[in-house]
Structure 1
Amino acid sequence: MERVLFKPLSQVAICGGTHGNELCGVYMLKELPRDRSGTFSLTTVLANPRAVDTCQRFTEKDLNRCFTDTLLSDLLTEDSPYEVRRAQELNALLGPKGSEATMDLVCDLHSTTSNMAICIITHLNDRVGQHLFKYMREKIRSAPVRLILLTSPLSEGYSLDCLGKHSCTIEVGPQPHGVLRADVYNQMREAVDRMLEWIESFNSGTVFEGGEVEGYSMVEKKDYPRDPETQELTAVIHPQLQDNDFCLLKPGDPVFMTFSGETIHYEGDELYPFFVNEGAYYEKNTAFVLGQKQSLLVPSISVEKEQ
């Protein structure tokens, strides 16, 4: 199998608090060592301090949707949302996006109200992110570890982790927003520890063998049933779907239950639901995401040795 060579990951950033009410990432930053020896420098960033101070997802605009080329180059005015201003500050600190000066790896820490255990989110064209997932899946036994693949190139991403040459979002759950759960926090801690361990080993010359990995790529989003005039919900997630993220959804399976107790059945292709009943997605008109499972053949990788 071919081996792909990469430059060392010398500059690594771990961010938390991109959503101010997702507390695992906020508190994880407090525990990460500020001074460390090793093959890379570690920068920790509290991404959205105003939202963290008020324990809300964002103050004016979802920061994790503000890292498009358009918003990063937008001329700021007095009316610019705080999160757009903050995205440009973070781009200056960790980027600029797409440049040689940008961080080698940006990892963003998130939690979800959905029952998704540990998820690694990276891009289809990011071999480093995929190998991070492969290593965590092999090493972590406390919870399932799954891969969510973004099919767009890293350069076209809109989330904070796209500021790096390589990206990795660690998503853990279930955990209510504004709450810390010890088991979920410990899952994030283990994922972060394994990530730092992998980077150190990679930079030191370890060859990481390739192989097949399974991931989920998003196909579509499903909204809740709503009243056509008021747009108010007319049904909620069915108990048989609740907490069953990544379980294959087949035509005829229960997906929603009306407030009068009637069951609404799924119509569509066999796909895998995730982010089921995510609290923050009500405003995004998303009851759950449907994904397709795919198998990737990931090549072996190692660090490029200096000539």
Structure 2
Amino acid sequence: MCSLPLPQEPLRRVAVIGGTHGNEMSGVYLARHWLQAPGELRRPSFSATPVLANPAAAAACRRYVDCDLNRSFTGTFLTARPHPDDPYEVKRARELNQLLGPKASSQAFDFVLDLHNTTANMGTCLILEAAHNVFAMHLCRHLQLQNPELPCQVFLYKLPGEESCSLNSVAKNGMGLELGPQPQGVLRADLFTRMRALVSSVLDFIQLFNQGTAFPAFEMEVYRAVSSVHFPRTEAGDLAGIVHPQLQDRDFEPLRPGAPIFQMFSGEDKLYEGESTVYPVFINEAAYYEKGIAFFQTEKLMVSVPALPALAPAPAPTP
């Protein structure tokens, strides 16, 4: 397994970001709290910077104002000449790129943790681009070991050849934390508390790494995105069916050929016609209705992650 370059120095510039989507309330309110009381984000070797990513959308309690901020960190958007008519989120992406990046530069933040909620029954989901991010994979393993009673699934979302355009892609390293189910615009105490504890565990892991802890190799089960499945439509473009009750809320569970996936309004069931078992995620996610997506298909893999060596001691100052 090829890997991204491992950090060679302590991670000093770390950001914890909420409100990338303005109606995902756990991250919105944690970011607002930490902006007023950042002490919770301090560790002996660094202090994480709290960021409310999309303040206009958060103020309106909407996912976005003009377009999805978490799809706006493309090379085209970030390098284009600014124009007054640019969408709000494109302007905000450029601001965040200057704050946390610039993207793909040596000046970029060392690590970004992006906080999200989903209406789907995803539980605690750790989102990475791909398994070649060895540092982030070790972080995921740490969270799993710290929370043995709480399933923490790892979702690898990036398809081959797809450009990295999420907020995380601005930093040298990053991860998304996705908790659900939670309705849009609603704050649930259990998920708020869980997210707060997971953020603390992430910062504790970075502190362990910074102070010279080595982490052994391991194998990990992950779910890698394969494709999206769209809702059935009428010729007029309206929904022709809904997610089947036997599929609803069964994120990360096996979907076998011949199993029902949609209940058509006409009465019959539409079956999964694939040739192999897949594992659906983001089932019936409210934010994906505008995209027509009913769920994503993933494949379950076991990946081998190499050891994360301890940082070399800093050289002693010259007398």
Same fold (TM over 0.5): yes
Q: Deviation per CA, 1:57-112: give whole Å up to 9, x if none.
A: 00001000001111111111121000000000000001001111100001110000
4+ residue segments displaced more than 6 Å: none
Residues 159, 225 of structure 2: 8 Å contact kept:
no
Q: Call closer, same or farther: CA 1:5–1:209 in 2, change over 3 Å.
A: farther
The residue that corresponds to 1:131 in the other structure is 138
How has the CA–CA distance of structure 1 residues 80 and 264 changed in structure 2, closer, same or farther, with 3 Å as cutoff? same
Partner Cα separation in structure 2 for residue 213 and residue 306 of structure 1: 32
Amino acid at match of 2:25: L
SS at match of 2:261: strand
Q: What is the match of residue 18 of structure 1?
A: 20
Mind listing any 5+ residue stretches in structure 2 that lack a counterpart?
Answer: none
TM-score (norm 1): 0.94
| Selected match of 1:79 from 68, 82, 85 | 85
Aligned to 1:159: 166
Whole-Å Cα distance in 2 between the matches of residues 168 and 123 of structure 1?
8
| 8 Å Cα contact 1:95/1:163 also seen in 2 | yes
**8 Å contact kept, 2:32–2:52:** no
Specify the SS of the correspondent of 1:221: strand
SS in 2 for 1:110: strand
Q: Is the 8 A contact 1:47 1:90 kept in 2?
A: yes
Aligned length in residues: 304
In the alignment, the residues of structure 1 paired with residue 162 and residue 257 of structure 2 have an alpha-carbon distance, to the nearest angstrom, of 36
Which sections of structure 1, spanning at least 5 residues, go unmatched?
none
2:258 & 2:162 partners in 1: Cα distance? 39
Could you tell me how far apart the structure 2 residues matched to 1:194 and 1:101 are? 25
Task: Sort the Cα spacing of 1:280 and 1:4 in 2 relative to 1 into closer, same or farther, 3 A.
Answer: closer
Aligned with 2:191 (options 184, 187, 196): 184
Q: Which residue type is aligned with residue 8 of structure 2?
A: F
Residue of structure 2 equivalent to 1:40: 46
Is 1:258–2:271 an aligned residue pair? no
Query: Matched residue of 1:300: which SS?
Result: coil
Residue pair 2:43, 2:203 contacting (<8 A) in 1 also: no
Give the superposed CA RMSD.
Answer: 1.9
Question: In 2, distance between residues paired with 1:117 and 1:81?
Answer: 32
Q: Where does residue 100 of structure 1 map in the other structure?
A: 106
In 1: Cα distance, 2:187 partner to 2:238 partner:
30
Partner of 2:245: 239
Give the structure 2 partner of residue 89 of structure 1: 95
Do the aligned residues in 2 keep the contact of 1:142 with 1:187 (CA within 8 Å)? no
Map 1:60-79; keep pairs closer than 5 Å. Answer: 60-79=66-85
Which string of whole-angstrom CA distances, capped at 9 and with x for unpartnered residues, describes residues 148-197 of structure 1? 11446999411001111111100000000000111222221221111011
Counterparts of 1:143 and 1:114, CA distance in 2: 17
Helix, strand or coil at the partner of 2:38 = coil
Q: Are 1:294 and 2:301 matched, yes or no? A: yes
TM-score computed with the length of structure 2 as normaliser: 0.91
Given the superposition, is the C-alpha separation of residues 202 and 112 from structure 1 closer, same or farther in structure 2, using an over 3 Å criterion? Answer: same
Distance in 1, Cα, partners of 2:7 & 2:110: 14
Is contact 1:123–1:167 with CA below 8 Å preserved after alignment?
no
User: Does residue 267 of structure 2 align to residue 267 of structure 1?
Assistant: no
Alignment partners' CA distance in 1, 2:279 and 2:232: 19
* Cα separation, 1, equivalents of 2:43 and 2:253: 42
Alignment pair present for 1:29 and 2:37: no
Return the alpha-carbon distance in structure 2 between the equivalents of residues 121 and 303 of structure 1.
Answer: 25
Whole-Å separation in 1 of the counterparts to 2:15 and 2:136: 14
